[in-house]
Structure formats: C-alpha cells, structure tokens
Chains A and B, each alone.
Chain A
Amino acid sequence: MLELKGLSVAYGSFTAIESIDVLVQKGEIVVLLGSNGAGKSTTFKAISGLEKPRQGEILFEGKSIGGRSPGRIVESGIVQCAEGRKLFPKMSVSENLIMGAYVHRKNKKAIKHSIKHVYELFPILYEKKENAAGSLSGGQQQMLAIGRALMAKPKLMLLDEPSIGLAPLIVEQMFEVIQQINEEGTTILLAEQNANAALGIASKGYVFESGSIVVQGTSEELLSDDSVRKAYIGA
C-alpha cells in the first residue's frame, strides 16, 4: 500500500534520514522504532508532504506522491496524527473534529456519521464536545488528535508517538483503540518509544538509528532480537 524507496530528507545541510526503504501492506500495523532524533517524525513528515524528499520515492497505492501538497495527500487517504497533537486549541472538540473532515467538507452526512463513530470510540470526547481543545488534559488531547485524524477517513493513518506523556492506564487504552481502528480497516504506520506495547499490536517493525534503518523484521523477530530488546524495551 505504502512504499518508501531510497527516501532521503534533509534540513538544510543536515540529512535527517538517508535512503530508507519501508513497505506497508494493506491492513497491517507497522511500527517504526528508534531513539529520539532517529528520524521517525521526519519520515512521517515526508510522507504527509510537510517536508520535501531530497531523494527517493514515496509510492502510495502504486502512485508516486512525493512532492504533492499536504492537502492532496490527505485527500488521497493518508492522514497523520502528529507528535505534539497540533490541535486547534481555541476551537471546541467538535469543531476540531469537523476540521478533521476538511477534505470531505462537501459531504455533510458523512461527517455526521464519522463524528458519531469517533464519539463511540472516545466517549470522553462526547462529554467534552463543547470544551475548547486546549483545556483538555494531555490524554484527552491525544484522543482528540486521533479522533480528528479518523475524521478524514484515512486509508493509511500515521501515528507519531501517540503514547508520549500519557498515564499507563491511558496508554493501554490507546493501544487498544489503535488496534480497533486497524480492525475496522485502516492501515496503520506507528512511531513509538514504547516498543513493547507497539510490537504487541504490530505485525512488523523497522528500527531507526541516526537516519537509517538498522534492523527490520516481524514483531516476533524484533522482540527476540537482543540488541533491540536492550535498547528499546529495557531489561
């Protein structure tokens, strides 16, 4: 479904990711692991069109999308739920969700339907639907960010560290929700620090180290890889 071929991205003279290859099949959950600054978010930004690739190709459903505008990429079915949430803090929860369906703005009915679905997934959002997004707690904001991404009815959803800074209880819920979303038919590419939980729901993973992929394999392979265990899962 999504294929990165020899992708490189640079910020000015600094090359953040270099010649990486990633393959995501339809219906999969794929996880990107790696320490801070390894280049996971940069990869996501490149896929979403927020950064222009310096080299290489991004293929989505067989078509090259490298260099397309972010708007067009969302339209074609890739939505990112970014690090730091990037909500509209002064808009209400429901307004945020509606903005999430921006690319389907013509279809009012479908929007209503999607909102309902998001509220089913995250009942707390329904309770807070009139509150400004900025007033939510960190966990609630994270849910809203995911909910907003879902509003675009993505075929592929990019989740950048959804569990960061969340309470253990919430993290658990979060991963359940991700799995649920996946089961409903959305392919998921996930970047995580919490390798244990992530690999628990993913079918395969890639490990980044300073801009390149150093290890890749199925979840089982990675979980049993000693170096991976040591660096990303802890003793």
Chain B
Amino acid sequence: MAALVNRRTVISGFILLALVFPFLTKNSYVLHILTLAFIWMIAVYGLNLLAGYTGYLSLAHAGFFAIGAYSLGILTVKVGMNYWLAFLSSLIITCILGLLIGLIALRTKEHFFAIYTLCVGYIIYLVIDKWDGLTGGVRGLIGIPVPAGVGPLSFEEPQSQYYLILFFLLLTVLMVYRIVHSLSGRTFIAIRNSEELAKTLGIATMKNKLMVFVLSTLFAGLAGVLYASFIRFIGPDIGYITITFDLLMYLLVGGIGTLAGPIVGTILIVWVSQSLQFLQDFRMLIFGPLLTLLIIFYPRGIIGAFYEWKIKRQEKKRMRALIKKHKDAEFSDANSVPDKKVKEG
C-alpha cells in the first residue's frame, strides 16, 4: 500500500506547510487571502457533503453563511453577548433554521430542490436586506469583535486568526473525512445514487437527508461566523446568490464528491481570480471562459481528473506487465481492471 503511505505524507506535508506559512511570508495580503480562502473552504465542505455525497444541490448556502455571520454580528454587537457564547448560539441558530428549511425543502428533488433552495437563499438575502431594525439593512453591521481570547491565546493579530481558522478548517476536514468513511457516509452516497433503492433497503432517507442538510448548514454557518469576526463588518451581500455560485464554483473546479476537492478548487480559483486583477474591468472576460473550459475539460474537477489519470496510468502499467509476462494470456482480464472509487473518494 505504497499509495496510502504516500497519501499520508502528502497530507502531513500540506498541514505542515499551512502551519509554518505565516512564518514564510511577511505579506499580510497573502495571509489575508489565504485565511479568507480557508473560510470559504469550510463552507464548501458543507456544500460538498450535501451536493457531492448526498446529491442534493443546495443553492441556499450563501444564505446560511449569512445567517451564521449575522447571528454572530447581532448577538455580539446588538445584544452584547459574550463572544464564544454568541459563537455557539449562532451555530445553533443556523442549525435550527437549517432544520426548518430542510424539512420542507427536502420534499423536493433534483432541479426542484436546487431552485427551491435558490429561492430560499434569495428570501434570506431579502430579509437581511430589508429588516433594517435587526440587521442594519443595506448599511450592514459594523464593529463585530475578533474572537475572544481563550486562556493564554488571543486572536487580535491576523496570524493568530489565521491559526484559529486553520484549526476550524482542519476540524471540518477531519469531521467530513470520518463521516464520509463511515456507514453514515455510505448511506448518504447510497441516497445520492438511488434514493428509491435506499428507501427499500430500509434506510430512513428523509431523516438522513435532513441530518446532512443540517450538518451542511452548520458548516456554512461556521464559515459565516468566522467570516464575520475576521472581516468584522458584514453587509447583506454576503447572503447573495453570487456567493453561493462562488462556493459551487470552488467545489466543482476542485472536484465534487471528493475530499480534497474543496481545498484545491478554492485555492485555485481564489488564486486565479486574484492574479487576474491586473486586467481590471476585463477580468471576467478571461475568467468566465477559463471557468467554462475547466468545466468542459475537467468535468470531475481537478481531483477527479487526477484520479482518472492515476487509474489510467495504473492500467497502462498493468497492461504492459501483462503483455510482457504472457503475451497472449487472459486479455479479457484487462477489461476488468477495477476503475472503482472514481466518483466517490
């Protein structure tokens, strides 16, 4: 199992890199972008769990992101609640709303679910935008505190915020990893593959879907909460459809239904979109086609493409070995080289 060892070292390598990164650069812009990217990743993992593993494409996730962010904003700024209490409450609020919305939304399927949640997301945005009294309306909320210190740790500095957010990201990845590689994860994938069959196998699909939905909104809400205390100002825009589309774009480019997809996609797109800044007004002129081409040529995202490439290589190797060994033996066997675990993973 050389591949596994390999994988483990790669992962540890990345974590190490993330850990020492603040020491490698003095550029607070880069750190800022990276921190923000971590926040997006958390939300994308939420989306991935639902859309990638369970097959329900939610377009309301910017809404839940905003609910998390606004809950924290309102609880800290307006109510004056203790930071970590507000943090927890915000997550709970997001989950409760997620539960309520999920209960109705999950009655619909496929495109209907997608557009239904699109509308739900838009309603959330509108409510935030119009409910001046609570949310500050178009003005937004200002003065959201940084996370309160925990023991000797304080989160005033960008570096410490970076580590805090990295911590939550790693936690998210660990959780998602464990869920995906468990009976529950299999259950979700089963629902994605065929809900009807899952049901006749005795799986309470609604309960499971609801669980993923709530969990997925929890991650979106967590990202929102972190965003609010990182940017420290929030406006209704963070709940707008464009944010959902951004998240979706990160997910799809990275590879939907894969574990590494959200990280790869987010980093790549954030990086590309920052690098194209020099084009100014015409940034989208390049970015749009780039995105479209990526989708056409790497429909399974970067990670999917990587797996495919790996499998092909293995297959070739095997074929070559086969041909070498016994020139005309068991050709049919070559057909059955498992091309498994391409879609999930």
Closest to B316 in A: A13
Chain B residue numbers with a CB within 8 Å of A15 are: 335
The distance from the CB of A101 to the nearest CB of chain B, in whole angstroms, is 34
Chain B residue numbers with a CB within 8 Å of A14 are: 335
Q: For chain B, what secondary structure do more than half of its interface residues adopt (helix, strand, loop), or is it mixed?
A: helix
Chain A residue numbers with a CB within 8 Å of B332 are: 210
Chain A 202-223 interface residues, beta-carbon cutoff 8 Å to B = 210
Chain B 320-345 interface residues, beta-carbon cutoff 8 Å to A = 332, 335
Q: How far is the CA of A210 from the CA of B332 in the complex (A)?
A: 9
What are the 4 closest A-B residue pairs judged by CB atoms, nearest first?
A14-B335, A210-B332, A13-B315, A15-B335
Closest to A14 in B: B335
Contact mask for chain B residues 298-331; partner A; CB cutoff 8 A; 1 contact, 0 none:
0000000000000000010000000000000000
Q: How far is the CA of A210 from the CA of B335 in the complex (A)?
A: 11
Q: Interface of A with B (CB < 8 Å)?
A: 13-15, 210
Q: How far is the CA of A134 from the CA of B315 in the complex (A)?
A: 43
Closest to A18 in B: B331
Chain A residue numbers with a CB within 8 Å of B315 are: 13
The distance from the CB of A70 to the nearest CB of chain B, in whole angstroms, is 24
Q: Chain B CB within 10 Å — which of A13, A14, A15, A210 has the most?
A: A13
4 A-B pairs in the complex with CB atoms less than 8 angstroms apart: A13-B315, A14-B335, A15-B335, A210-B332
Chain B residue numbers with a CB within 8 Å of A210 are: 332
The distance from the CB of A100 to the nearest CB of chain B, in whole angstroms, is 30
Q: How far is the CA of A119 from the CA of B315 in the complex (A)?
A: 54
Chain A residue numbers with a CB within 8 Å of B335 are: 14-15
The distance from the CB of B319 to the nearest CB of chain A, in whole angstroms, is 10
Contact mask for chain B residues 191-202; partner A; CB cutoff 8 A; 1 contact, 0 none:
000000000000
Q: How far is the CA of A13 from the CA of B315 in the complex (A)?
A: 10
The distance from the CB of B320 to the nearest CB of chain A, in whole angstroms, is 14
Q: How far is the CA of A13 from the CA of B312 in the complex (A)?
A: 10
The distance from the CB of B297 to the nearest CB of chain A, in whole angstroms, is 16
Chain B residue numbers with a CB within 8 Å of A13 are: 315
Q: How far is the CA of A15 from the CA of B336 in the complex (A)?
A: 12
The distance from the CB of B183 to the nearest CB of chain A, in whole angstroms, is 32
Q: How far is the CA of A234 from the CA of B332 in the complex (A)?
A: 26
The distance from the CB of B314 to the nearest CB of chain A, in whole angstroms, is 12
Q: How far is the CA of A14 from the CA of B335 in the complex (A)?
A: 7
Q: How far is the CA of A210 from the CA of B333 in the complex (A)?
A: 12
The distance from the CB of A18 to the nearest CB of chain B, in whole angstroms, is 10
Q: How far is the CA of A14 from the CA of B332 in the complex (A)?
A: 10
Closest to A16 in B: B335
The distance from the CB of A116 to the nearest CB of chain B, in whole angstroms, is 41
The distance from the CB of A181 to the nearest CB of chain B, in whole angstroms, is 37
Q: How far is the CA of A13 from the CA of B335 in the complex (A)?
A: 9
